Structure 1
């Protein structure tokens, strides 16, 4: 009876019932396959974009390829600009500094040569200035003449004397400066003193190279030998440029000596 019914159904459907039953699973597989391919096509690039960072090439890894050049660049950037002893920043300042250092070097060499060969004119002169007062004359009495004093931009008295004449400290004090070259003063010593409660600064310029007897910071006594007359710096003849400042104000040196020396 079952077989008879199947043949009847087959005749009515033209024998296609079995074919349709097989085709449906095949079509489902194809559809699922197409969907899977579509999902793979969409998902794989997104997955690649979200790969862990450690798998990607980093900037540091790229830099490692050229690590030596990076080190060199770092060293070049960090290395200080070597200017020797110069602190100047413009070509003009550097040239000025070079000229000053060259002048100082020449002065130092001249000082060495002078110290080795000069015979200072000490014959007939005491090595301590005469007198007993708080203020003394900076040159031996009777050994000098004044050729020029304060005025017209000149800040001191020019006391003409033979080369090598002893120069004495006009007052007790501390050496503020002592050098073979101080501007136009040439070989020069400067003293800071306190006299009668007043601050007194005295300057002794144009000494002979190598003749300074005191150094910066040294304490000296009134009348102590500090150097010898010369013609260094801006000078055209042997003389002592003697300068006096009282409480920061310039005074006429010879008048000040006349009123205070003894």
Structure 2
């Protein structure tokens, strides 16, 4: 009985054992395939993690810090009430600006009579015609102007008109007025042993001593200025020896210095501001009274063509006008 049962079991289990064997092989193959897939996925994850780690490691530290800072400093979302309020204010501002632009456009482009009706225009034209009609113009009273001709003529005859007076003065007269002594009259004797620097009498514009003629002129005048005109010959005052001939030397310009001995005293005369090329004497030359020294010019510190003439007694400058008035013969 047992043997029969065992055989029956063996006979019944053979097909089932074959099927179970088959299912086990398939199950094992499936498990192996699943393990291989898991292994592949795991390796891929490891590779991705490794590559991500290497990318992060390769990034500069500054970029990582910036990313962290940007993430850390990202502001929190504002409440919806505040955002809606700001949005509403911005919309109102935009609408107000557009309304202002539209009003400005209308006020500058639409004529003043655009909103008038046809009846209004007709009434305005009729009123204008009536105001300019001849009857309306005749109704305006005329203006009367009364002019007292006799009173106007009398007033014109009695009124006096004051006018500014003027006078013309030469440069010599102006300088003489500033000096306070306009009288420089003299006469020359062409046969005398001591003579004036010119054959005839010529104007003297400035005397000896303190003066205030111009901003760049000397405040103390060491001689007198003769103004006969440009180019007039200048003569030696007396016999003597030429001690110096200076060309364009300082304020005196082109000038000559002559030494004389008069009445046993050493007298030196200076002739200044002479024209270029007009000097006719040389240093060391003996001259006689009346010898032409040069011509009147405007060299050096000068306000016009003139002869600046000086007289020195033993090295001390004296008034040439006074000395010549006393010694010329």
TM-score of the two chains, using structure 1 as the length reference: 0.49
* Higher RCO (CA 8 Å, separation ≥ 6 residues): 1
Higher helix share: 2
Pair member with larger Rg: 2
TM-score (norm. length: structure 2): 0.39
